């Protein structure tokens, strides 16, 4: 008589999604009540009655819609891409090769795109993002068995542009509109956390679109996400072209190089901020490479399609904490230090402590909640220290060390088998501890700068 071994597939409870939804709703709905308890002169970015101009509010809505559209495109390929490789029978070794090509393109070409963006105009670079996605969508619709080399290069460059161009464009446009009103930082704070919130929601939406387009009939549905991506890219190009402002380059390359050397390379505070950004980027990349293998290690089975929105929902929840911290008069550097330390401790536990899937998903969710808080906080610090004219180049170059580190560990793991997955996670944890140290040193540097300005002001008086 045969023995039947029952296997169970782990799935997150529906109460998890309900908790994330209602927690985000409560944080947003209670925020105006919290503000009413503060001093009358307290400034708020999200729910106060600042006299923002109609043009600034209209641009913010226009920008967030385009950013959400871009996020859907990014998420559509990231969710659907791995499934597509499996469908066409691509081996694991070739998959690693594609990943190396992607991060190599991001390192050697993507790192320079931020400099180009500052010189030719940020909105033009955002337009290039949609054009690259359009090329990939058409390429995959035309070719029955598409070359993943071309698609991977285009998508890697698009992801590099996505990491800096939209944020830089928003800052520059808000600077044009709201500088005279004196409320640029307030509305930028709102835009930063809304970017993280809408990006996370859009990534979940991209998963829904991919599942609906593919459906159950793989013979007919395998190319459907390419059609959706093409239509969304055309929509993005149309929306940006209709409101195109014809921005010309801001400065010559010679002037830009001199300004970059003086204001960026010569400022220790910006270098510390760039180091923290690189460490975060490296840790996020390592997580998304290893999260699925970690969950299904030793033959365990889990519903990754349900866990994925759970993680992004936690990221949404983390972003809603940002306006509370900003209006609680807490230093941005202190908040970032604590968030980085929590992330590093979580990864350290994941690397060395074998746990059930439920415990891992809980730690993964906390990790992403910290990401949702960290991203707008880092953007806020960039607004405080980095000149707007040099913002794109600063962000893109700060990601170069992270891409180089990812290339190194992928080669060591994928080809030479000299390191384990747990070691890669430890490297990411060490990077996050370094980011926390950078924020601590940055706080001391900022404090010294404030004291120096106060002494100078006192001496002049």
**56-249 CATH pick, 3.40.50.620, 3.90.76.10, 1.20.1250.20, 1.20.1290.10:** 1.20.1250.20
**Whole-number Å distance between alpha carbons of 181 and 138:** 45
Q: Do 56-249 and 251-453 come out as alike in CATH topology?
A: yes
The token pair at 145 is 């068995």
Over 80: is that where the pLDDT of 322 sits?
A: yes
Quick: pLDDT tens for 3-32: 444 457 888 988 988 989 899 888 888 877
Mean pLDDT of 307-334: 92
**How many other C-beta atoms are found inside a 10 Å radius of the C-beta of residue 35?**
17
Instruction: Give the list of residues 6+ apart from residue 425 with CB closer than 8 angstroms, or none.
Output: 286, 290, 294, 347, 350, 351
Percent of the chain with pLDDT over 70: 84
Interval 146-161: pLDDT, tens? 677 888 899 999 999 9
The pLDDT value given to residue 457: 52
Structure tokens at 242: 């209709």
Backbone torsions φ then ψ of 243, nearest 5 degrees: -110, 25
pLDDT tens profile 386-403: 999 999 999 999 999 999
Return the domain boundaries, the chain. Answer: 56-249, 251-453
Residue range 251-453 in CATH 1.20.1250.20: yes
With CA atoms as reference, report the closest residue to 170 among 203, 112, 221, 126.
Answer: 126
The string over 327-339, giving b where at least 16 C-beta atoms fall within 10 Å of a residue's C-beta and e elsewhere, is beeeebbebbbeb
Say yes or no to pLDDT of 2 above 70.
Answer: no
> Rounded to whole angstroms, how far apart are CA atoms 60 and 245?
16
| CA–CA gap between residue 397 and residue 391 (Å, rounded) | 10
Phi, psi angles (nearest 5°) of residue 443: -60, -40
- The pLDDT tens digits of the residues spanning 33-82 come to 666 665 444 444 444 444 445 456 788 899 999 999 999 999 988 877 77
pLDDT value for 166? 95
Nearest Cα to 74, choosing from 198, 214, 241, 193?
198
Question: What is the DSSP-derived secondary structure letter of residue 329?
Answer: T
Residue 455 pLDDT level (bands cut at 50, 70, 90):
very low
What pLDDT, on a 0 to 100 scale, did the predictor assign at position 3? 44
Asked if 424 contacts 288 with a C-beta cutoff of 8 angstroms, the reply is no
| CA distances in angstroms from 239 to 62, 63, 131, 201, 442, listed in the order given | 9, 10, 13, 21, 40
Res 112: pLDDT: 93
Does the global pTM surpass 0.85? yes
- What's residue 38's pLDDT? 58
């Amino acid at each position: 008589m045969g023995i039947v071994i029952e296997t169970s597939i782990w799935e997150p409870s529906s109460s998890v999604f309900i908790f994330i939804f209602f927690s985000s709703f409560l944080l947003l709905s209670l925020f105006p009540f919290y503000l009413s308890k503060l001093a009358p002169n307290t400034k708020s970015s999200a729910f106060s009655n600042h006299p923002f101009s109609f043009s600034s509010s209209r641009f913010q809505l226009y920008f967030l819609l385009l950013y959400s559209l871009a996020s859907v495109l990014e998420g559509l390929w990231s969710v659907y891409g791995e499934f597509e490789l499996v469908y066409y029978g691509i081996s694991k070794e070739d998959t690693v090769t594609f990943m190396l090509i992607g991060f190599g393109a991001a390192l050697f070409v993507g790192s320079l795109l931020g400099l180009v963006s500052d010189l030719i105009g940020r909105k033009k670079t955002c337009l290039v993002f949609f054009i690259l996605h359009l090329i990939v969508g058409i390429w995959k619709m035309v070719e029955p068995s598409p070359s993943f080399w071309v698609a991977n290069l285009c998508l890697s460059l698009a992801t590099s542009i996505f990491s800096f161009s939209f944020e830089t464009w928003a800052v520059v446009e808000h600077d044009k509109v709201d500088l005279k009103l004196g409320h640029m930082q307030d509305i930028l704070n709102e835009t930063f956390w809304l970017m993280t919130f809408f990006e996370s929601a859009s990534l979940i939406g991209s998963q829904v679109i991919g599942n609906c387009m593919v459906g159950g009939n793989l013979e007919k549905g395998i190319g459907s996400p390419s059609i959706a991506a093409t239509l969304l890219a055309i929509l993005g190009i149309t929306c940006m072209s209709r409101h195109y402002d014809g921005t010309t380059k801001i400065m010559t390359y010679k002037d830009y190089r001199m300004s970059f050397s003086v204001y960026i390379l010569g400022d220790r505070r910006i270098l510390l901020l760039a180091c923290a950004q690189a460490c975060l980027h490296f840790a996020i990349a390592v997580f998304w490479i290893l999260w699925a293998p970690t969950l299904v290690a030793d033959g365990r089975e889990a519903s990754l399609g349900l866990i994925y929105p759970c993680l992004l929902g936690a990221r949404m929840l983390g972003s809603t904490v940002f306006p509370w911290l900003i209006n609680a008069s807490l230093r941005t550097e202190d908040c970032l230090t604590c968030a980085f330390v929590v992330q590093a401790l979580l990864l350290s536990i994941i690397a060395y402590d074998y746990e059930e899937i439920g415990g891992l998903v809980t730690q993964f969710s906390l990790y992403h909640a910290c990401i949702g808080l960290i991203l707008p906080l880092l953007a806020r610090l960039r607004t405080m220290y980095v000149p707007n004219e040099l913002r794109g180049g600063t962000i893109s170059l700060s990601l170069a060390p992270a891409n180089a580190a990812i290339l190194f560990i992928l080669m060591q793991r994928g080809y030479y088998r000299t390191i384990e997955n747990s070691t890669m996670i430890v490297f990411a944890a060490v990077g996050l501890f370094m980011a926390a140290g950078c924020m601590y040193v940055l706080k001391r540097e900022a404090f010294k700068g404030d004291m120096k300005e106060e002494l100078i002001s006192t001496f002049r008086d």
